[in-house]
Amino acid sequence: MEIINLSEQNSILNTFLRELRDVNIQNDRLRFRRNIERIGEIMAYEISKTLQYNPIEVKTPLGFAPVNIPDEKVVLGTILRAGLGFHHGFLNYFDCAENSFVSAYRRYKEKGHESFDIYIEYIASPRLDDKILILTDPMLATGGSMEMSYRALLTKGTPRHVHIASIIASQPAIDYCKENFPAATTTIWTAAIDPSLDKSSYIVPGFGDAGDLAYGEKE
User: Which stretch of 13-17, 61-65, 101-105, 162-166 has the lowest confidence by average pLDDT?
Assistant: 101-105
**pLDDT bucket at 145, cuts 50 / 70 / 90:** confident
Put simply, whether the predicted model's pTM sits higher than 0.85 gets the answer yes
Q: Nearest Cα to 3, choosing from 141, 174, 162, 148? A: 174
Q: What is the mean pLDDT of residues 20-30?
A: 94
pLDDT at 31: 96
Distance (Å, whole) CA 38 – CA 45: 11
pLDDT at 211: 85
Give every CB contact of residue 171 below 8 A, 6+ residues apart in sequence. 193, 194, 195, 196
pLDDT at 113: 46
Bridge partner list, 136: 78, 165
Distance (Å, whole) CA 179 – CA 173: 10
pLDDT at 12: 96
pLDDT in tens, 160-214: 999 999 999 999 999 999 999 999 999 999 999 999 999 888 999 999 988 888 8
Neighbours of 202 (CB within 10 A): 18
Cα end-to-end distance, the chain, whole Å? 38
DSSP track, the chain: -EEEEGGGS-STHHHHHHHHH-TTTTT-HHHHHHHHHHHHHHHHHHHHTTS-EEEEEEEETTEEEEEEEE-S-EEEEEEETTTHHHHHHHHHHSTT-EEEEEEEEEEESSTT---EEEEEEEEE----TTSEEEEE-SEESSSHHHHHHHHHHGGG---SEEEEEEEEEEHHHHHHHHHHS-GGGEEEEEEEEESEE-TTS-EESS-S-HHHHHH----
**pLDDT bucket at 116, cuts 50 / 70 / 90:** very low
Give the domain range for residue 183: 2-215
pLDDT in tens, 44-98: 999 999 999 999 999 999 999 999 999 999 999 998 877 889 999 999 999 999 9
At 60, give phi and psi (nearest 5°).
-110, 175
pLDDT at 109: 52
Radius of gyration of the chain (CA): 18
Question: What's the CATH number where 74 sits?
Answer: 3.40.50.2020
Neighbours of 170 (CB within 10 A): 26
Question: Does the pLDDT at position 158 exceed 50?
Answer: yes
Distance (Å, whole) CA 96 – CA 111: 43
For the chain, what is the domain count? Answer: 1
